Amino acid sequence: MINPVPSVPFALDPRQQAARAWFESLRDRICAEFEEIEREAGSDARFDFTPWDREAPGQAPGEGGGGVRGVMKGQVFEKVGVNVSTVGGEFAPGFAETIHGAAENPAFFATGISLVAHMTNPNVPAVHMNTRYLVTTKSWFGGGADLNPPLPRQEDTDHFHAVLKAACDAHHPDHYPRFKAWADDYFFLPHRGVRRGVGGIFYDHLECPDDAAFDANFAFTRDVGDAFLAAFPPIVRRRMNEGWSDADYAAMLEWRGRYAEFNLVYDRGTLFGLKTGGNIDAILMSLPPLARWS
């Protein structure tokens, strides 16, 4: 499987290039694993990849980098998007003041991977994962992963959290409790008083003021990506052949409505993409193909 990479017409420093290469390689591994699951289910579904150029005021299309949107619609994965992007330029006035380290200088660089999977079978959890590297007057890593089951199973929740905890514990004993709590707080719908799923980890602003900090935080971010591949596919394979009822499917559609509400109203990544000239289809690939509000 040959996956396209974003066109980046500006020079990258060694840190930026290393982060970009890792996110793109993780994309390739995830897409290959998801396609293999489709093969196991008897489906020949594959990802379709669409490159896009960043479009922002003061820059010609592509001058500020771009990304590649990858989408697969299959038998197991009703809709899964795996996106990579590498972009640079200046934040719009006002928005720059909301970004770490950009208030005094709006110039930025960002590279990362973002994934959302909505499943055909209500017994299989939806999932979200992203990791990213940003540079303003500061530089830092952020990201995480969280599980979003319409029909929660404790076995699946325990497995997902155990894999993420092991990845965190390998770097710092405070990472898992801190980043789990951050996910619980972040993935919350205040207007409904509920979390959108069963959590995971979320982290941001792991700053890289020197090479030692960059190496440590990059190593942790790579382990988060590897942990996702160890945590989610086994759950899919465990549940994808289970039967479901009309009531189960209706519950999934209603739960998807909650997911859409969060991503459209509260998600910072959605806002970041819209404010920085990102591709609309890539940004909104997080939305489910079908949802219901009763």
Report the catalytic residues.
128
Residue 86 in contact with residue 6, Cβ under 8 Å? yes
> Which residues are 68's β-sheet partners?
51, 84
Closest alpha carbon to 113 in 82, 144, 70: 82
Instruction: Name the region of 89 (left: φ>0; alpha: ψ -120 to 50; beta: rest).
Output: left
According to DSSP, residue 99 is labeled: S
Distance CA 212, CA 207 (A): 11
User: Rounded to whole angstroms, what are the CA distances from 262 to 161, 176, 190, 283?
Assistant: 21, 23, 9, 14
Which is it for the CA torsion 107, 103, 132, 269, positive or negative?
negative
* Rounded CA Rg of the chain: 18
Strand ranges of the sheet holding 199-207, from the earlier edge strand across to the other edge: 48-53, 65-72, 77-90, 107-119, 126-135, 139-148, 199-207
Local structure of 129: helix, strand or coil: strand
Beta strands in the chain (DSSP E): 48-53, 65-72, 77-90, 107-119, 126-135, 139-148, 188-189, 194-195, 199-207
Distance CA 162, CA 196 (A): 20
